[in-house]
Structures are given as structure tokens and as C-alpha cells.
């Protein structure tokens, strides 16, 4: 695309900038509620100026055990991510390198897991967790989310390994390297960016998830997403307090996606091929 007039570039940039700002307005609104005094968030007519305050944060910390909520979210999402990668990366590698005619079929099977509406498996899983006594704990959520995520990781890593010629591993194997050595020392380092993309997506999925923990965890194990929902239904919690609490749910994941944008783009576009 050569020879484009400066005028057109400026026009395109202004358009896209305006659209992006429009997309970000609701986020700004949410963030701003946390710094407004309660009587200025909603007023008829709504007003655009306010005197900033940190009262809402004080309120949020007074009502919620924010640290424990964030810790639950972290345990669930890091646990899910680690387990999904431990299961999914070797499986993706094996399916990509296998010469068996069943290998592509298995890869598509893992992709198909993506289609499952959670509710179809969640109810029997709920009963299963109740029977073995894990219902209400972090483990119940981690076990279920790992199933969904490791299938996704297997498919993603299958396509990453598939795009990588096997020559280097074969050379290492003929040089007397062990099978595990060829996998860990030769194959895995070359797909590092793919693994980071997978980890980012697993983190995002589990951190943002609230349907599964809502039913699978109890009060002391609930993550911040579930707390936000229960807080919403309560009368004495104002919108500002909710906005303050929402900071802890949205800001970490948005920052992660912004700083790891390269991997986000890579993962989102790789997942469709």
C-alpha cells in the first residue's frame, strides 16, 4: 500500500481515534465512579464534574476482604494456567509430531471441547464434586477450568509445533539426546512465545470467569468476580464502592493484556487457524 496522501492518513487516524475513545468511554465512566462522592455518581440530570475523593476505596476495604478476594482469584487463575500448560503443551507436541493417522482427529477433538456450553458439563460436575467433597473449594474451579483450558492449550500448541520443522529435534535425537531432552531443550524453547500467549489466555479466562466459581466455591474461597456480583445485589453498597472494587478485578487483567499485547494478538489470531 504505497503512495497514500497525508491527508487521507490524517483522516483515517482521526476516525480510528474517535472510535477508540468511544469504545473506552464506558471504562472511563466506571473508573471515575470510584473517585466520586456517592451523591455525585448518579444525579438527575447527570453531571460531568465532581470533587475527587478516596472514600469509595475506604468503603470497599471496610466492607470486603479485598486481599482475600484477590488472593482467591490469583490462586484459581494461576493454578488453572499452570496445570493447563503442564497438560496441554506435551499433548500438543505429541499430536503435532505423531505420524499416526489418528493424531489430527485428536487435535480437532480438543478444539471441539471449546464448543461445549459450560452448563452441559457443569451440573454433573457439580454433583461429582459434592460427592467427593471438593465442592466449595478452589480445587473444584481449578479442576473444571483446567479441563476447558488444557483443551485450548493443546490445540494452540498443536498448531505452533506443527509450524515448526522437526529437523532440529531429529538431529538432537540422532546425536544421542533423550526423547525428553529433545522436547524440553530443543522444541520447547522455540515455541516460548506461543506458550506465553497460551498462558495469557488461560489467565484471562480464569480471572474473568464467574459462572463456575459462583456455583463451585463457598464464601471463604470466592474470587473477586463473584464478590462483585453479590455486592451488586446489596442495598447498602453504593455504585462508587462497586466501582472501587471493580478496579481490583479489571485493572490487573487490562494491564496484563496491554503490556503483553504482542502475545494477545498472536494468541487470538492463532486460535482461529
Partner 1 sequence: MHYSFANRRRLFLFLMATPAVLYVAAVGLWPLAQGIGYSFYKYNLLRPARTQFVGLQNYIDIFSDATTRKAILNTFQFTFFSVGLQLVLGFALALLLWRDSRFNRAVLAFLLIPSTITPLVVGLIFKAMLGADYGIIGYFLSDAGIGPRSGLLTDAGTALWMLILIDCWEWTPLMTLILLAGLKSLPGDVLEAGQVDGATAWQRFRLLILPLMLPSVFLALTLRTMDAFRVFDSVFVTTGGGPDDATNTLMLLGVKEGLQFFNVGFASAVGNVTLLFIALIATMLLLVVRRADVRINGK
> Which of the residues 181 through 220 are near partner 1 (CB under 8 A)?
183, 204, 207-208, 210-211, 215
CA distance 80 to 61: 27
When binding is defined by CB under 8 A, the residue of 72, 159, 225, 238 that contacts partner 1 is 225
**Residues from 47 through 86 that contact partner 1 (CB under 8 A):** none
**Residues from 143 through 172 that contact partner 1 (CB under 8 A):** 143-144, 146-148, 150-151, 154
When binding is defined by CB under 8 A, the residue of 60, 66, 76, 95 that contacts partner 1 is 95
Name the one residue in this structure whose C-alpha cell is 480464569.
Answer: 206
CA distance 154 to 94: 10
Q: Of 51 and 124, which has the nearer Cβ to partner 1?
A: 124
Helix-helix angle 239-259:55-63, to 10 degrees: 90
Residues in Cβ contact with 136 at an 8 Å cutoff, skipping those fewer than 6 apart: 216, 217, 218, 221
When binding is defined by CB under 8 A, the residue of 202, 221, 228, 244 that contacts partner 1 is 228
Stretch of residues binding partner 1 (CB under 8 A), selected from 50-58, 60-68, 74-82, 177-185: 177-185
Stretch of residues binding partner 1 (CB under 8 A), selected from 52-60, 61-69, 190-198, 264-272: 264-272
**Residues from 113 through 142 that contact partner 1 (CB under 8 A):** 113-128
**136 beta partners:** 217
Residue 38, judged by CB atoms within 10 A of its CB (0-12, 13-18, 19+), counts as middle
> What are the distances in angstroms from CA 42 to CA 7, 60, 241, 271?
42, 18, 13, 41
Stretch of residues binding partner 1 (CB under 8 A), selected from 60-68, 74-82, 131-139, 253-261: 253-261
Using left for φ > 0, alpha for ψ between -120 and 50, and beta otherwise, residue 91 falls in alpha
When binding is defined by CB under 8 A, the residue of 36, 66, 88, 138 that contacts partner 1 is 88
Residue 100, judged by CB atoms within 10 A of its CB (0-12, 13-18, 19+), counts as exposed
Q: Give me the 1-30 binding string for partner 1, x by CB under 8 A, dash otherwise.
A: xx-x----x--xx-xxx-xx--xx-xx-xx
Name the one residue in this structure whose C-alpha cell is 467433597.
Answer: 133
**Shortest approach of partner 1 to residue 268 CB, angstroms?**
5
**Shortest approach of partner 1 to residue 208 CB, angstroms?**
4
Cell of 1: 500500500
Instruction: With CB under 8 A as the rule, give the number of residues binding partner 1.
Output: 92
- The SS3 call for residue 136 is strand
Q: Of 20 and 58, which has the nearer Cβ to partner 1?
A: 20
When binding is defined by CB under 8 A, the residue of 35, 64, 110, 263 that contacts partner 1 is 110
Cell of 24: 473506552
**Shortest approach of partner 1 to residue 66 CB, angstroms?**
15
**Shortest approach of partner 1 to residue 32 CB, angstroms?**
10
CA distance 225 to 231: 10
Amino acid at each position: 500500500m504505497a503512495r497514500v496522501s497525508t491527508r487521507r492518513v490524517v483522516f483515517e487516524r482521526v476516525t480510528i481515534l474517535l472510535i477508540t475513545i468511544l469504545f473506552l468511554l464506558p471504562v472511563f465512566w466506571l473508573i471515575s465512579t470510584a473517585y466520586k462522592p456517592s451523591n455525585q455518581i448518579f444525579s438527575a440530570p447527570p453531571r460531568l464534574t465532581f470533587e475527587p475523593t478516596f472514600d469509595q476505596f475506604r468503603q470497599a476495604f471496610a466492607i470486603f476482604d479485598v486481599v482475600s478476594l484477590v488472593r482467591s482469584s490469583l490462586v484459581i487463575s494461576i493454578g488453572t494456567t499452570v496445570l493447563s500448560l503442564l497438560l496441554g503443551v506435551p499433548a500438543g507436541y505429541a499430536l503435532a509430531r505423531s505420524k499416526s493417522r489418528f493424531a489430527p482427529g485428536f487435535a480437532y477433538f480438543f478444539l471441539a471441547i471449546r464448543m461445549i456450553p459450560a452448563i452441559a458439563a457443569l451440573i454433573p460436575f457439580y454433583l461429582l464434586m459434592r460427592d467427593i467433597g471438593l465442592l466449595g473449594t478452589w480445587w473444584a474451579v481449578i479442576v473444571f477450568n483446567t479441563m476447558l483450558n488444557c483443551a485450548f492449550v493443546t490445540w494452540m500448541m498443536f498448531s505452533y509445533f506443527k509450524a515448526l520443522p522437526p529437523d532440529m529435534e531429529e538431529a538432537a535425537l540422532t546425536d544421542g539426546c533423550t526423547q525428553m531432552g529433545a522436547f524440553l531443550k530443543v522444541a520447547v524453547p522455540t515455541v516460548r512465545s506461543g506458550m506465553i500467549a497460551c498462558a495469557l489466555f488461560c489467565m484471562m479466562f480464569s480471572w474473568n470467569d464467574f459462572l463456575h466459581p459462583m456455583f463451585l466455591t463457598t464464601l471463604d474461597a470466592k474470587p473477586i468476580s463473584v464478590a462483585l456480583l453479590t455486592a451488586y445485589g446489596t442495598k447498602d453498597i453504593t455504585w462508587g464502592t462497586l466501582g472501587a472494587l471493580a478496579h481490583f478485578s479489571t485493572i490487573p487483567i487490562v494491564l496484563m493484556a496491554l503490556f503483553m499485547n504482542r502475545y494477545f494478538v498472536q494468541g487470538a489470531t492463532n486460535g482461529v487457524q
